[in-house]
Amino acid sequence: MNTKINTVLFDLDGTLIDTNELIISSFLHTLEKYYPGKYKRADVIPFMGPTLEETFEGINKDWAEDMAKTYREFNISNHDLFVKEFDGVYETVRILKENGFKLGIVTTKRLDVALKGVKLTKLDEFFDCIVAIEHVKKPKPDPEPILLALERLRSVPEEALMVGDNHHDILGGKNAGTKTAGVAWSLKGKDYLAQFEPDYMLDNMSDLLSILGV
């Protein structure tokens, strides 16, 4: 392992916190309103990862703004019922912080909603930086949000690892020049993520400790 790595960037949804059921329910609630009976659970899983705007514009440009508003209202009002951190996350992040790693979150969520999830799972004390959708012009897989997080953390790509559950995270890390790690608990599946050739695949977040030599 390259001992120079001192910075770990994480995606939020599906990586640190389990928002899968919340996101699926929010999509189904929204699409049922605009397209009754058309969308099932399996149909919305591919929508996880891109921004809401990208997803809804791909369905109907004229309704995209209203659909995003409907989604966010449902998502926020049901947030605390659904959200919890994944197994091994809290302890791993705490140990990394105690060992002096610089830690950041790079998400396609809006900052207010991202903070809601991070505070609910008590992870907020560990992160020095959160880059959210409103902080950038281009979301992952563009390198912009990852490079912004590194700048805020006073780090560089050669010293960083990007961890995520979606191809946007892996490709975003590669485009920014960081090492990358996929998480096997991705809703899209370990084999799906492996296609994008992350440097590491984590079966549990605690695998990071041995990879980073902690």
| Residue 157 is assigned to a structural domain of this protein | yes
Whole-angstrom distance, CA of residue 173 vs CA of residue 163: 8
Residue 54's CATH number? 1.10.150
Residue 115's CATH number? 3.40.50.1000
Question: Where among 82, 109, 136 does a domain terminate?
Answer: 82
| Residue 41 is assigned to a structural domain of this protein | yes
Q: What is the pLDDT of residues 122-180, one digit of tens each?
A: 999 999 999 999 999 999 999 999 999 999 999 999 999 999 999 999 999 999 999 99
Mean pLDDT throughout 64-90? 94
Q: 30, 24, 58, 56: which is closest to 42 by C-alpha? A: 24
Catalytic residue, chosen from 11, 18, 165, 169, is 11
- What is the dihedral sign for C-alpha 58, 63, 64, 70? negative
| Domain containing residue 174 | 7-18+85-211
| Cα 110 to Cα 117, 134, 168, 197, distances in angstroms | 11, 6, 17, 28
**How many Cα neighbours within 13 Å face the side chain of 97?**
15
Number of domains in the chain: 2
| Cα 7 to Cα 115, 150, 180, distances in angstroms | 20, 8, 12
pTM of the model: 0.89
Answer yes or no: do 110 and 170 share one domain: yes
Answer yes or no: do 104 and 206 share one domain: yes
Q: Residue 11 catalytic?
A: yes
Contact status, residue 163 vs residue 8, Cβ threshold 8 Å:
yes
